[in-house]
Amino acid sequence: MPTATPFLVLVLAAMSAFGPLSTDMYLPAFPAIAAGLGTDAAQVQTTLATFFAGMSLAQLAFGPLTDRFGRRLPLLGGLGIFVLGSIGCAMTEDVGWLALWRFVQGLGGCAGMVTARAILRDISEGTETIRLMSRLMLVVTLAPILAPSIGGLLLGLGGWRAIFWALMAYGLGLALVVALVLPETLPPERRRREGLAGIAMVYARMLGNRRFMGLVLSGVLPMGGMFAYITGSPFVFMELHGVAPAQYGLLFGANALGIMAVSQLNAMLSRRYPPERVLLWGLTAMSAAGLAMVAMSGTGSFWGIAIPLFVFVASIGMVMPIAAALAMASQGRAAGSASALIGTLQFGGGALTGALVGVFHNGTAVPMAMVMGLAGLAGLASRLVLVR
């Protein structure tokens, strides 16, 4: 069985980075895309929701595919779809087609995220999985730190289309690495052979498992707040508070640094305390920060939003690795399907919360703050009520 070498962790991090790169890199280009396609910012925001929807739906298929055919072949197929979607985004002349090609990007990009979690489960278990997921989070958070700045640079050099050409190159480069050096971590004797009915039964069993779903929801629901932040923050900071695109990238990066720092604290705490308790601490911090944001969102105070927002986002580095690792710990040969269900619920919730921020848009920070606050409280309730 392959070991978790630093190089393998780096490749898995690159696979997991499709989500943050594909969302965060083009955030500073929202005004330019709206102007270039003759539309408004609200229409451009829908392209985020369609990307999240593609990410959500396709994972239900990619998970069982990786459990049946191994990790490498479905991953390469997903990378090909992502490259195709990136080309479509770069060449489109209509915001409706941009939303469609973003959906295609999501369909393919989810393969990397599903497969990375499944491979970690293949090569580790218990607190070792939590440690590796925290290390993975350390590398993955470089994406939201760097992506807005890279997007802003590409925007200045080649316009907003250059961002999607860069994403195409990223997909091609990773496909080459996977084809040449990524080992297969699921041997044939451990692969599942069920048909569609068997796959449905696997998902039904997971959905009916109280502890599994409690752990999944305690990570997924707060991540909905993260997606509300991704969707709403360009308006809140760049338009409402007059933050320049370059400064917005720095602000976005500071929040990502918070995730990085807390993820490493999480790895240390999980060795000293029961992981379920550490998860509860992270969820409590998120809920308190969300409530503080709601209280300050109507005041017009920049720091009244920015500080609790930092606490909320940084806590993701504690909540998500533990929730995912504990949920997948009991799934064994169905690790790919478990990873897919987590991802489907995560990005499905992201599409919903992102849409809610747009629907309730009223020219203030209140919609973003309200959705984030409710997401944090819902995650805490899942941990308290369902996980025993």
Q: What is the DSSP track for 186-247?
A: S-GGG-----HHHHHHHHHHHHT-HHHHHHHHHHHHHHHHHHHHHHHHIIIIIIIS---HHH
Residues 6+ apart with CB under 8 A from 230: 23, 24, 27, 48, 350, 354
**What is the three-class DSSP state of 363?**
coil
φ and ψ at residue 348, rounded to 5 degrees: -65, -45
Q: How far is CA 367 from CA 42, 45, 276, 312, 379, in A?
A: 14, 14, 31, 16, 19
Q: Residue 140: pLDDT band by 50, 70, 90 thresholds?
A: low
Please choose, from the candidates 107, 142, 161, 105, the residue with its C-alpha nearest in 3D space to the C-alpha of residue 340: 107
Q: Which two tokens stand for residue 190?
A: 């451990």
Q: Quick one: pLDDT band at residue 211, thresholds 50, 70, 90?
A: confident
Whether 169 has a pLDDT exceeding 90, the answer reads: yes
Q: Give the pair of three-digit tokens for residue 57.
A: 């739906």
Tokens for 247, please give them: 């400064």
Using an 8 Å Cβ cutoff, are 101 and 46 in contact?
no
Percent of the chain with pLDDT over 90: 15
What domains can be seen in the chain, in order of their start residue?
6-386 (1.20.1250.20)
Q: Is the pLDDT of residue 361 over 80?
A: no
Determine the Cα–Cα distance for residues 388 and 385; give it in Å rounded to an integer.
8
Q: Contact, 221 vs 375, CB < 8 A?
A: yes
> Which tokens go with 60?
């239900």
Q: Please, are residues 220 and 349 in contact by the beta-carbon 8 Å criterion?
A: yes
Q: In degrees rounded to 5, what are phi and psi of residue 330?
A: -95, 5
Confidence of residue 134 (pLDDT cuts 50, 70, 90): low
Structure tokens at 53: 């929807």
- Say how far residue 353 (Cα) sits from the centre of its chain: 13
- pLDDT, position 333: 63
Q: Is the pLDDT of residue 217 over 80?
A: yes
Distance in angstroms (rounded) separating the CA atoms of residues 287 and 375: 8
| Residue 191 in tokens | 């692969």
Q: Please state the pTM of the whole predicted model.
A: 0.71
pLDDT tens figures, 266-314: 777 877 888 888 888 889 999 999 999 989 887 878 888 889 999 998 8
Six-digit token pair at 236? 């809140």
Per-residue pLDDT at 29 exceeds 80: yes
> How many residues are listed for the chain in this entry?
388
Residue 374 has pLDDT above 80, yes or no: yes
Task: State the sign of the Cα–Cα–Cα–Cα dihedral 112, 114, 119, 125.
Answer: positive
Q: Is-contact 255 313, C-beta < 8 A?
A: yes
Q: Would you say 61 and 184 are in contact if contact means Cβ atoms under 8 Å apart? A: no
User: What pLDDT digit, counting tens, does each position of 323-345 carry?
Assistant: 877 877 766 666 667 777 777 78
C-alpha–C-alpha distance, residues 120 and 12, integer Å: 8
Identify the band that residue 172 occupies on the pLDDT scale cut at 50, 70 and 90: very high
The overall average pLDDT reported for the chain is 82
3-state helix/strand/coil string of 71-110: CHHHHHHHHHHHHHHHHHHHHCCCHHHHHHHHHHHHHHHH
pLDDT exceeds 80 at position 45:
no
Residue 235: the pLDDT is 80
